[in-house]
Every structure is written in C-alpha cells, then in structure tokens.
Amino acid sequence: MEKRVVITGLGAITPIGNNVEEFWNGIKEGKCGIDEITHFDTTDFKVKLAAEVKNYNPDDYFDAKTSKRMDLFSQYAVIAAKEAINDAKITSENTDMDRVGIIVSAGIGGLSTIEKNNKILVEKGPDRVSPMYIPMSIVNMATGNIAIELGIKGESMSIVTACAGGTHSIGEGFRTIKHGYQDVMLVGGAEASITPTGIAGFTNIKALSREENKNRASIPFDKERSGFVMGEGSGILVLEELEHALKRKAKIYAEVVGYGATSDAYHITSPSPDGSGAAKAMKIAMEEANVKPKDITYINAHGTSTHLNDLGETLAVKLAFGDASKDVMISSTKGNTGHLLGAAGGIEAVVIAKAIEDNFIPPTINYKVKDEECDLDVVPNKGRKINVKYAMSNSLGFGGHNSSILFKKYV
C-alpha cells in the first residue's frame, strides 16, 4: 500500500538569511541578497556580483578540526540539515535511525577545494596536495557528512543533475517513503561555487549577467534580463511517512503529493525551445497528485533570468496548464537569492512549503519591464496574501534535466 508523505522539518542557509525564519522573512520583505563578490578579487573578471551567504563564520557551527575537513558546500548542508532535523524533532528515541535516509544534491561540489589543491599541485608538486582533497571535494560528501553528524543509517546518496538536482532529490525521497523503503528522508541540496573558476566558467558560457546594479542583475521574466546571478547556500527538508509523523505528534507544514522528472534530449545547456520537456514533468506531477491545472495556486518557477529559460518555462507552463495558465501565479525567487544551482530546488521547496503554511505568494522582485513573450502572472514586486492549497516548484538543469514537485496543504 502506498504511503502518504508529509513535510515535518525545514532548514536553510541562504544569501538572505542563515536560517528558515530569516530566509522566509527576507522573501516576504522582498530582500535582495545580491551584492559585490567578496570571496575573491574580481578585478580581472567581467562579472562582479553574486549572492553570497552573509555573516558566515564556520566557528559558530563547527569546531576548527571539523570545519577544516569540510568544503563550504558540505558545511552549508550540515547546517541546514541540523536545523531541519531539530525543527522536525526527530531523535533516536522516537525514530529508528536505520529507517531514516538522506538524498542531498550538489551541482558541482567542493569547487573551492579543487581550485586550492590544483594550485598547490602546480606550484608545490603532488606531494603537497592535501590528503583531504578527495573526501572534501566529491559531491556525495554533503550527504556523507550529514549522516555522520546526525547518526542517520538508512539510504544515503547524492543526485547530480545540475540545477535540477535539489528538486530531483526531494522527489526521489518522496518516492522512497511513498513505497515503504524508509520512514523519514532528509532531502534537498547544497552549493558553494562562487569561486574564480565557477564564475569564469559560467561567464564564458554566457550564462551570467554582467550587470553591476544589484537590483537589475537577477530579474526573471523582465525584458531586460541578461543572465543569472550565482548564489550559494543550502535548503533541506524532512519528509516523513504520515502515520509516523502523527504518532510523534509532529508539526506538518504540507503534504508532498506529486513529482515529475523528464529529459529534453535536446542540448547540453539550452532547454528545449518549445518547453515540452518541462511541461511533461509538471503534467506527471499533477497526474500523480490527481489534480487539475486549475487546482494549482502557485508555481515557484525555475526562473533563472536568462532569456532562453524564462521564455521556455513560460511556454512550458502554457503547454502544461492550458487555459489555467492565465490564472496560476508564477514567481521566481532567484531575484532574492540568485541561482543556487544544485541547491536551488532545496531552498525553493522551503519557499513553497512556507507559502502554503502562511498563505502567501512570494513576488518576483525588481521587475520593471514587461516582456510580451513572458506574459503570465509573475506576481511583480509585491507578494499576495491568498489561500494556497497546492504549490509547485520547477527546476531545470544543464543536460536537459527537468523536475517538478507538488505540495498540498495538509488537512
């Protein structure tokens, strides 16, 4: 028998808040976390802006030995996971930790560790490369470190599907519980790729905005958009089998009811221009939930602020929703946070869970110039207080990966 799956814990560290409360308040207030890059000297770089986590000191979270053995993306993952598990009040006394699993995505992993050790290799030779280089840089170590920190002994894995990974992780965690393999799953993503090669690589593929006005750099669906802005951080959710949650008398934020995953099979970086792959992912999620397009109140769009993405996603929503696309509210919170790559789906799932809890639709901030091609209701600049019964989040990744998840108000 298929199980019902609910959300009982949330955790986040983001460019607009270092915990869920700060993050969500920042979303509601329309806060922009984009500013000048401080992680490295950008003198020779065409891109000067990113959305960095602010006021972060690893000593506030880890002892010196532990933090030195974890790349920044793993640190962010552990911080968000601990907040989520504490929020859910999951303990070894009320939960069999062999029945708790983890799926956490990263698009790139320990890029700063890779850069640092490559420089050491070139300048000082192979014997000086850190013995911690590999266990700090590989993508699965966000998941591994969470398991070690929290004593989680069930399924433990990482999904790497570029910018779709966080949402894929949530969807696969949902299925794992739905089909009875685990009782609880920690799911989401973590990323820390605001580094010289990270910024240079995305700049040279013409994906990043070179805008120097932080309020006009990440402007999803705006006609003047010119590329995305790199963000960093982590978003983690605790998914739990309903009866397990009720037995513990856990707080329930929302119910997970649908998940869709498809491939464009089109291009290594560009989405399918007709939006068909993304549309199919949304349709699959709605079919699993047994709902109609008219039932969906809100979509948190992938909405990267690139011309191809925003246009393709607009077409995808029209294709998936038909006439209901005129009524659904669709906003992108990447104007607030930048684009967190493999962690985007994690923090944006936190957004839709909170949107359902608070009955609040987040705005697309810094929106000024209407694009005739992106003509859906993008909730420009001001959020809306409205009952949210169903909310969807979309994530699309290089390689043609598409993922959609659908949450429902729990009653």
CA distance 342 to 169: 10
Is 179 assigned a catalytic role? no
Is 163 assigned a catalytic role? yes
Is 339 assigned a catalytic role? yes
DSSP state for residue 325 in the 8-state scheme: G
Whether the CA torsion 15, 19, 22, 23 is positive or negative: it is: positive
- Active-site pick, 168, 302, 374, 401: 302
φ, ψ of residue 66 to 5 degrees: the values are -65, -45
- Active-site pick, 163, 168, 244, 401: 163
β-sheet bridge partners, residue 5: 241, 256
List b or e across 106-134, with b for residues whose CB sees 16 or more CB atoms inside 10 angstroms.
bbbbbbbbbbbbeebeeeeeeeeeeeebe
Q: Which of 49, 37, 32, 48 is nearest to 335 (CA)?
A: 32
CA distance 213 to 15: 17
- Active-site pick, 244, 339, 374, 401: 339
CA distance 234 to 169: 13
* DSSP-derived 3-state class of residue 368: coil
Q: Which of 10, 189, 7 is nearest to 84 (CA)?
A: 10
- Active-site residue numbers? 163, 302, 339
